[in-house]
Amino acid sequence: MSHAPDIRIRGLVKRFGDVTAVDDVDLEIERGEFFTMLGPSGSGKTTTLRMIAGFEIPDEGSIELAGRDVSRLPPYERPVNTVFQDYALFPHMTVAQNVEYGLMVKRVAKDERRRRAAASLEMVRLGGYGARKPAQLSGGQRQRVALARAIVNEPQVLLLDEPLGALDLKLRQEMQIELKRIQQEVGITFVYVTHDQEEALTMSDRIAVFHRGRIEQIGPPAEVYEHPESEFIAGFVGVSNVIEREGRRYTVRPEKIHVLADGAQAPDGVRVEAGTVRDVQYVGPVTRYHVTLDRGGELQMLAQNLEEGSMEVLASKGRRLRLQWRPEHESVIVETEEGNA
Amino acid sequence: MVESRLTRWLLRAGTGLTLVFIYGPLLVIGLYAFNRNVTQKWPIEEYSTRWFSVAFNDDGVREALTLSILAALGATAIALVLGTLASLAVARYQFFGREVITFAVVLPIALPGIVTGLALQATIVDVLGPIGVSFGLATIIVGHATFCVVVVYNNVIARIRRTSGALDEASADLGADYWQTTRYVMFPQMRTALLAGGLLAFALSFDEVVVTIFTSGAQQTLPIWIFATLARPAQLPIVNVVALFLVVASIIPVYIAQRLAGGGGPDEERAPTIPTAAP
C-alpha cells in the first residue's frame, strides 16, 4: 500500500523514574483495523495507548497519525478520542450534553450537534436517553454513552482502554459483539487495550502481545494463539503447555491433544506419549486433564464431555493413558530475552 | 470488633460530657439574652425579648455589624480568588516548590493569631504607614484573608483531588483546551466546594477577634464591640443578645457548608473539609 498507515509508532520509549514502562516499541496499524494491545498489567500497553492519546509525552521515539507526527501535540489537538476504563462521563451534564461536548468545544452549530449526538446515541442503542444524568444509568449504559461521546466526533482513531473491565461477564460478551458491529459500521480504526485474552481473540483483526514494555508478538488472533513465539505468550494467551523433546521446546494447545484408546495402534506420524493423570477438573461442557508424562514434563488436555458424566471423568484421576497429537499442532518456542529485562 | 458493655457506656458518657461542655455555656448565654433584668443572676427570674429591640436600635451595634459584614465579605472574596487559584495550580501541575506553596498556604491556620496580628500591625504601621496606609476596613480584610484563604483552598483542593483526574483528561481528549476544560468541567465540579469554602471563610472572619484587634485601629467589628462593652455592666443585656446573634450567624453558614460539602452529587461521595484549628 502506498498511503501512510493510520498509526505508525517508532522506537517509542517511556520511563517513570527508574521504571521503563515502554521500551522501544514499533507498531503500524492500518486504516479500519481492530487492533488489540494485549498484556498483563504493567506490560506497557496502557502507557502506549496514553501516549497515542497525548496524556503522556514519550521520552524517545515518534507517533504518526496518517503520516503526521503528533508525538508532542496536546490531546486536544489530536484526531483521536478515547473510551476510558471508568467511562469518565461528566456527572453534571446530561447524557446528550456529554455526547455533544466534543462538538460544542469545537463550536459546531447547535442543530448539527443535536442531530449528530442523537444519531450517535442511536448507534449505541440509547436513543431517548439524552435527558438523563449519568448517575441514572447502569454500568453498561454508561459504557455506551462513553462510546457515543467518542464516536460522535468521527475521530481518525478510537482508543479503548479496557472499556469492558468493569462489566460483568454476560454484559461483557454482549458488548464485545456490539463493539465489533459498531466498528464495522463506522469504519474507524480501533485500538483496544485489554488483559483478557478471550476478548482479544474474539474481536481483533490483529493482536500485539505486550510483555515488560515490549511487543513480543504481533499477528492475527489465530496465529498468536496457535503459534505463540515465546513461552510467555504460550502461557498468557491460553495455557502454557510447553514440553522439551530432543532439544526442541514446543507447545501444543490442550484441545489438540487426544487420548489414544488402550491397545489401539497410533496412525503414522502421530506423536504418542504415555503418562499418568495427575489431576482432573470438570468444567461443565469440557474436562481438563493434567497429565504427567513418563518422559518428563506435563501437558494439559481438554476433552469434551460428550458421553461421560462428571463422576466418570473425576474417577480417572491416577489412571495411566497414552496421549496423541499431530506434529503440525506443535509450535516451537523462540525464546526471546527471557529474564533479560 | 464488638465493644464490651462497659466500653460502650464509657464512650457514650464521654461523648455526652463533651457535648455538655461545648454547648452548655452557649445555652446559658442564649438564655441570658432573654433575661429581663439588667443584672445577671442564675437562675433567671423573668424572661423577656425587650433587649432584642434595644440591641437592634443601638448605633454602636449597628456600626459594628456593618463593619463585620463588610470585612467578612471582603476577606471571603479575596479568599475565593486566591484559594481557587492556588488549589488549581497545586492540583494540576507539578512544579518546583509545589510542596512549599502547599505548606505556606495552609500554615496561617496554625500560626498563633496573636503573632499574625502583631506582624500585620508592625507591617501596617512601620512599612505601609509611610506610604499612606492606615488602619481601617482594608487592613481588617487583608488580616482576615490570611486565614480565610486556607479554608477555600482546602475545600477546593479536596474536591479536585476526588473528582477531576479522569474528567480533565476526558475533556482534553474531546478537544477542549485548558480554559474550556476549566469552564465547562472543572468549575461546575468545584461550585459547591467554592460555596462551602466561602461560607466557612465568612463565618471565620465574622467572629474573629485576635487578628482584628491588631488590624482594626479605632473601628470595632462585632466581636471587638462585645469585648470592649463587657466592661460596662449596664450594657450587659445587649452584649448577650449580640453574642446570641453571633452564635447563630456562625452556625448557619457552617451548617450549610457541611450540607454542601457532604451532598455535592448523587454519584460522588464527598466529605466536608472543616479547618482543623481556628486562629
Q: Which chain A residues are Cβ-neighbours of B267 within 8 angstroms? A: 91, 134-135
pTM equals 0.76
Instruction: Tell me which chain B residue has its CA closest to the CA of residue A150.
Output: B174
Residues A76, B185: C-beta atoms closer than 8 Å: no
Q: What's the sign of the alpha-carbon dihedral A147, A149, A150, A151?
A: positive
Classify each residue of B150-162 as buried b or exposed e, where b means 16 or more C-beta atoms within 10 Å of its C-beta.
bbbbbbbbbbbee
Length of chain A: 341
> What pLDDT is recorded for position A212?
94
* B33 domain residue, yes or no: no
**Residues of A contacting chain B (CB within 8 angstroms):** 53-55, 74-76, 80-82, 84, 86, 88-92, 101-102, 104-106, 133-135, 149-150, 153
Residues B184, A153: C-beta atoms closer than 8 Å: no
Give the CATH number, domain containing residue B206.
Answer: 1.10.3720.10
Distance between A23 CA and the closest CA of chain B, angstroms: 24
* pLDDT of B113 above 70: yes
Which range in A99-103, B53-57, B271-275 is most confidently predicted, on average pLDDT? Answer: A99-103
Sheet of A80-83, strands arranged across: A80-83, A157-161, A189-194, A34-38, A206-211, A214-219
Residues B176, A91: C-beta atoms closer than 8 Å: no
* Rg value, chain B, Cα: 22
**pLDDT digit string, tens, across residues A213-249:** 999 999 999 999 988 988 899 888 888 888 988 888 8
Interface with B, mutate which of A16, A57, A76 (most B CBs under 10 A): A76
* pLDDT of A341 above 60: no
Q: What's the sign of the alpha-carbon dihedral A245, A248, A253, A255?
A: negative
**pLDDT digit string, tens, across residues A122-160:** 999 999 999 999 999 998 899 999 999 999 999 999 999
3-state helix, strand, coil in chain B (%, to 5): 75, 0, 25
Domain hosting B182: range is: 59-269
| Amino acid present at A6 | D
Give the number of A-B residue pairs with CB atoms closer than 8 Å: 72
Cell of B152: 477555600
Neighbours of A41 (CB within 10 A): 8
* pLDDT of B154 above 50: yes
Average pLDDT over residues B9-24: 92
* B233 domain residue, yes or no: yes
Neighbours of B247 (CB within 10 A): 15
Q: What are phi and psi of A146, to 5 degrees?
A: -60, -40
Q: Residue B33 has what DSSP assignment?
A: T
* Nearest residue, CB atoms, B174 vs list A74, A105, A134: A105
> What pLDDT is recorded for position B262?
59
For residue A191, how many C-alpha atoms fall within 13 Å in the half-sphere facing its CB?
A: 29
Determine if the peptide bond prior to A79 is cis (ω within 30°).
Answer: no
How many angstroms separate the CA atoms of B176 and A290, rounded?
Answer: 55
* B34 domain residue, yes or no: no
Residues B171, A90: C-beta atoms closer than 8 Å: yes
Residue ranges of alpha helices (H) inside A64-207 are: 95-105, 110-123, 139-151, 169-186, 197-203
Distance between B192 CA and the closest CA of chain A, angstroms: 12
Angstrom CA distances, A243 to A27, A298, B164, B214, stand at: 31, 7, 50, 84
Q: What percent of chain B has pLDDT over 90?
A: 22
**pLDDT digit string, tens, across residues A73-129:** 999 999 999 999 889 999 999 999 999 999 999 999 999 999 999 999 999 999 999
Contacts (Cβ under 8 Å, ≥6 apart) of A192: A34, A35, A36, A37, A160, A163, A179, A200, A203, A204
> For chain A, what is the mean pLDDT?
90
Q: Which chain A residues are Cβ-neighbours of B185 within 8 angstroms? A: 90
Q: Which chain A residues are Cβ-neighbours of B268 within 8 angstroms? A: 91
> What pLDDT is recorded for position B1?
57
Residue showing cell 503528533: A70
Contacts (Cβ under 8 Å, ≥6 apart) of A231: A240, A242, A249, A251, A333, A335, A338
Question: Domains along chain A?
Answer: 7-231 (3.40.50.300), 254-340 (2.40.50.100)
Distance between B266 CA and the closest CA of chain A, angstroms: 7
* B31 domain residue, yes or no: no
* B101 domain residue, yes or no: yes
Residues A84, B169: C-beta atoms closer than 8 Å: yes
Residues B266, A133: C-beta atoms closer than 8 Å: yes
For residue A146, how many C-alpha atoms fall within 13 Å in the half-sphere facing its CB?
A: 29
> What pLDDT is recorded for position B3?
67
Interface with B, mutate which of A80, A90, A151 (most B CBs under 10 A): A90
Q: What percent of chain B has pLDDT over 70?
A: 92
Residues A76, B175: C-beta atoms closer than 8 Å: yes
Interface with A, mutate which of B92, B173, B177, B191 (most A CBs under 10 A): B173
Closest listed residue to residue A120, CA positions, set A87, A82, A159, A149: A149
> What pLDDT is recorded for position B272?
42
Q: What percent of chain A has pLDDT over 90?
A: 68
How many angstroms separate the CA atoms of B52 and B245, rounded?
Answer: 10
* pLDDT of B217 above 90: no
Q: Tell me the DSSP string of B144-213.
A: HHHHHHHHHHHHHHHHHHHHHHHHHHHHHHTT--HHHHIIIIIHHHHHHHHHHHHHHHHHHHHT--HHHH
> What pLDDT is recorded for position B198?
92
Rounded to 5°, angle at Cα A49 from A46 and A54: 125
Any A CB within 8 A of B266 CB? yes
Report long-range pairs for A294-300 (Cβ below 8 Å, ≥24 apart).
A295/A245, A296/A243, A296/A244, A297/A242, A297/A243, A297/A244, A298/A243, A299/A241, A299/A243, A299/A252, A299/A254, A299/A257, A299/A273, A299/A275, A299/A323, A300/A239, A300/A241, A300/A254, A300/A257
Beta strands in chain A (DSSP E): 7-16, 19-29, 34-38, 60-65, 68-69, 80-83, 157-161, 189-194, 206-211, 214-219, 242-245, 248-252, 258-260, 271-283, 286-293, 298-304, 320-325, 330-332
Q: Residue B164: which pLDDT band, with cuts at 50, 70 and 90?
A: low
* pLDDT of A330 above 70: yes
State the total domains in chain B: 1
Angstrom CA distances, A143 to A185, B168, B208, stand at: 18, 18, 50
Q: Residue A340: which pLDDT band, with cuts at 50, 70 and 90?
A: very low
Residues A54, B172: C-beta atoms closer than 8 Å: yes
3-state secondary structure A127-159: CCCCCCCHHHCCHHHHHHHHHHHHHCCCCCEEE
**pLDDT digit string, tens, across residues B196-210:** 899 999 988 988 888
| Amino acid present at B226 | I
Helix (H) or strand (E) holding B51: helix B50-56
Instruction: Tell me which chain A residue has its CA closest to the CA of residue B180.
Output: A105
Look at residue B231 and give its three-state secondary structure. coil
> What pLDDT is recorded for position B276?
41
Q: Which chain B residues are Cβ-neighbours of A80 within 8 angstroms? A: 173
Closest listed residue to residue A38, CA positions, set A192, A226, A232: A192
Contact (CB, 8 A) for A196 and A209: no
Residues B166, A54: C-beta atoms closer than 8 Å: no
Q: What percent of chain A has pLDDT over 70?
A: 97
* Nearest residue, CB atoms, B170 vs list A88, A92, A106: A88
* B2 domain residue, yes or no: no
Q: Residue B2: which pLDDT band, with cuts at 50, 70 and 90?
A: low
How many angstroms separate the CA atoms of B77 and B188, rounded?
Answer: 19
Interface with B, mutate which of A73, A103, A105, A137 (most B CBs under 10 A): A105
Least confident of A20-29, B38-47, B222-231: B38-47
Q: What are phi and psi of A6, to 5 degrees?
A: -60, -45
Sheet of A248-252, strands arranged across: A242-245, A248-252, A330-332
Q: What's the sign of the alpha-carbon dihedral B62, B65, B67, B73?
A: negative
Residues B172, A76: C-beta atoms closer than 8 Å: yes
Instruction: Tell me which chain A residue has its CA closest to the CA of residue B264.
Output: A92
Interface with B, mutate which of A70, A92, A158 (most B CBs under 10 A): A92
Any A CB within 8 A of B171 CB? yes
**pLDDT digit string, tens, across residues A10-54:** 999 999 999 999 999 999 999 999 999 999 999 999 999 999 999
Q: Residue B166: which pLDDT band, with cuts at 50, 70 and 90?
A: confident
Asked whether the ipTM of the predicted complex exceeds the cut of 0.85, the reply is no
Distance between A24 CA and the closest CA of chain B, angstroms: 25
Average pLDDT over residues B215-226: 86
> What pLDDT is recorded for position A48?
96
> What pLDDT is recorded for position B267?
36
> What pLDDT is recorded for position B42?
80
Cell of B114: 496573636
> What pLDDT is recorded for position A335?
65
Distance between B176 CA and the closest CA of chain A, angstroms: 6
Average pLDDT over residues A258-271: 86
Q: Which chain B residues are Cβ-neighbours of A88 within 8 angstroms? A: 166-167, 169-170
